[in-house]
């Protein structure tokens, strides 16, 4: 009982939102394995929105902690790296090519998340930067490429080339400014979910 209380105190409300985000990502992966791309996209968007909100909630409640930071990175590994890798292998590039590209996305994503957990943000004055392409961008790229393939015929080697470049970009020194997440990405992701429901 003491152990459960300790875990609950470490999780808090923000940790509960992180685990709910993980549940949504798990549902998205399950729907991918059942060849239901529409619901997979909807639940992947839900996972992203919840993942965005957990950090915001922790800061608002003043409960940000090292435990929460590490939990967030581990959840991100499933929400983005595993999800994107499964989507590539199951939907975009079936066969050995998809298996190889999916593994590269997964491996680079996990290494990037470990580097971020250890090193944190880069700062320049009061501005914070991520180092390397962030893992949600891989999932976003997979979703957008999949939706594009519904209207145009894309060569699988072109798709593989784009995804390999993005996967390796996670380990690059490219900097992405940390700003405007709630104001831009949440409405944009909602539009993607609505588009998936209407279009697919």
pLDDT tens, residue by residue, 163-198: 999 999 999 999 888 765 556 667 777 777 777 666
Which pTM does this prediction carry? 0.89
Query: What is the biggest distance separating any 2 CA atoms in the chain, rounded to whole angstroms?
Result: 57
Per residue in 111-141, pLDDT tens? 999 999 999 888 888 888 899 999 998 998 9
pLDDT value for 159: 96
Token code pair at residue 117 = 């957990």
Tell me which of 26-40, 77-91, 180-194 is least confident.
Answer: 180-194
Q: Report in angstroms the alpha-carbon separations of 88 from 17, 19, 43, 103, 104.
A: 27, 24, 16, 9, 11
Which residues, 6+ apart, have CB-to-CB distance to 46 below 8 Å?
Answer: 21, 24, 28, 193
Q: Which domains does the chain have, with CATH numbers?
A: 2-199 (1.20.120.1760)
* Torsion sign, CA atoms 173, 179, 65, 105: negative
Which DSSP letter does residue 180 get?
Answer: -
Q: Which residue, 122, 157, 146, 158, is CA-closest to 196?
A: 146
The CA distance from 93 to 100, in Å, is: 10
- pLDDT value of residue 113: 95
């Amino acid at each position: 009982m003491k152990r459960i209380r300790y875990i609950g105190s470490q999780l808090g409300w923000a940790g509960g939102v992180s685990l709910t985000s993980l549940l949504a990502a798990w549902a998205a992966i399950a729907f991918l394995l059942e060849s239901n791309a529409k619901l997979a996209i909807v639940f992947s968007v839900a996972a992203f929105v919840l993942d965005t909100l957990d950090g915001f909630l922790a800061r608002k409640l003043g409960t940000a902690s090292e435990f929460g930071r590490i939990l967030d990175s581990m959840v991100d590994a499933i929400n983005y790296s595993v999800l994107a890798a499964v989507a590539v292998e199951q939907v975009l590039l079936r066969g050995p090519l998809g298996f190889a590209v999916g593994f590269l996305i997964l491996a680079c994503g996990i290494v990037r998340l470990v580097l971020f957990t250890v090193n944190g943000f880069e700062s320049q004055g009061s501005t914070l930067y991520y180092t390397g392409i962030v893992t949600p961008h891989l999932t976003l790229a997979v979703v957008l490429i999949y939706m594009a393939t519904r209207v145009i015929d894309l060569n699988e080697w072109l798709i593989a080339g784009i995804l390999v470049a993005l996967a390796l970009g996670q380990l690059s020194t490219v900097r992405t400014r940390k700003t405007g997440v709630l104001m831009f990405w949440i409405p944009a992701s909602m539009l993607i979910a609505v588009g998936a429901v209407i279009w697919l």
